[in-house]
Amino acid sequence: MFTKLSEVIEYYQEYHLTKNKYQYRADNLRFFDAYLLKNLRKKDVKKYAQFRRVTVSNATINRECSFARAAINRVNEDYELKINNPFEKVKFIEDDYIANYLNRSQYQRLLSAALETGNNDLHDFIVLLTMTGCRPIELLTLSWSNVHLDKRQFIVRNHYSKSKRTMYKYLNDTALNLLFTRLNFPGDFPGDFPGKYVFTNPKTGDHIKSYSKGFQLCKKRAGVNCTMYDLRHTYASWLIQKGVGIYTIKDLLGHGDIESTMRYAHLDYAQYVEAVDLLD
């Protein structure tokens, strides 16, 4: 029934994935079509990693292997098969990663730079990224129908979340007031219709696709070296520095496992400083 890995992946894409099909991963994994699926072994996965390592990092290779592993597992479950899965327990050593986050001064400089360039939407986008911990795509695709100001939350639907789980994002006063203003005063005149999305392109009616170009200009003007994703790190970092528990932060970020959240644990350094102070 399934003779090539690409056939397994096509089934997985059609019946188990929603909006994001990760086609670029599927395309790269066609490397394995040189083999019959039943003959695939871990040595072949290592050859793939060696081939891919010329152009990409081990982190990328691990994500591709995880994708292939999930595809085979889903087919085995759905068809009650026992196809050998050579991607099981495969993880290549990744470069040490330390999350970059902004301090309050850098954050305020970013906001000021956005306003100085007249980009109010970018200003609001930066605020919401930092105050909700969303990934950029989760905010860009957020529709007003999923925003519930009365409950101080909005919903990230499963096909837009990285974990493929529906997530609830909770709003502090800053985020709540900003969304209230965007909903009720979306244009130059009170009462203007805000559009379907929180960040709607007025020319197309669709959501804004990216603020990348404006963000590059903004951070250059502000003298701040960061990415949009660093604002998610900032959210987590500020929370942990305020004493919020690591498991609560895990849930707020929507991480599937605690390991992803533990990268922020070192920022709760007060307890460690107090511990070594005992030596004085």
| End-to-end Cα, the chain, rounded Å | 70
Q: What is the separation of C-alpha 166 from the centre of its chain, rounded to a whole number of angstroms? A: 13
Tell me the C-alpha to C-alpha distance, in Å, between residue 273 and each of 64, 104, 174, 269, 276. Answer: 40, 22, 32, 6, 5
Domain-by-domain residue ranges, the chain?
5-79, 104-272
Q: Is the pLDDT of residue 169 over 60?
A: yes
Average the pLDDT over 238-254 and give the result: 91
Q: Measured between alpha carbons, how far is 123 from 127 in angstroms, rounded to an integer?
A: 6
**Beta strand segments in the chain, E:** 147-148, 153-156, 167-170
Q: What is the pLDDT of residues 99-116, one digit of tens each?
A: 789 999 999 999 999 999
Q: Which residues pair with 148 in a beta bridge?
A: 153
pLDDT attached to residue 159: 61
Q: Measured between alpha carbons, how far is 113 from 102 in angstroms, rounded to an integer?
A: 15
Q: What is the pLDDT of residues 177-221, one digit of tens each?
A: 999 999 988 764 444 567 899 999 988 989 999 999 999 999 999
Percent of the chain with pLDDT over 70: 93
Following CA atoms 259, 261, 266, 272 in sequence, which dihedral angle do they give, to the nearest 10 degrees?
-90
Contact 234, 105 (CB under 8 A): no
pLDDT attached to residue 241: 86
pLDDT attached to residue 189: 42
3-state secondary structure of 144: helix
Q: Residue 170, exposed/middle/buried by CB under 10 A (0-12, 13-18, 19+)?
A: middle
DSSP type of residue 117: T
In CATH terms, the fold of domain 104-272 is hpI Integrase; Chain A (1.10.443)
Average the pLDDT over 137-160 and give the result: 91
Average the pLDDT over 160-180 and give the result: 87
Of 21-25, 94-98, 121-125, 219-223, the least confident: 94-98
Q: What is the pTM of this model?
A: 0.73
Average the pLDDT over 252-267 and give the result: 82
For 275, the token pair is 């511990």
Q: Measured between alpha carbons, how far is 280 from 42 in angstroms, rounded to an integer?
A: 53
pLDDT attached to residue 190: 44
pLDDT attached to residue 5: 98
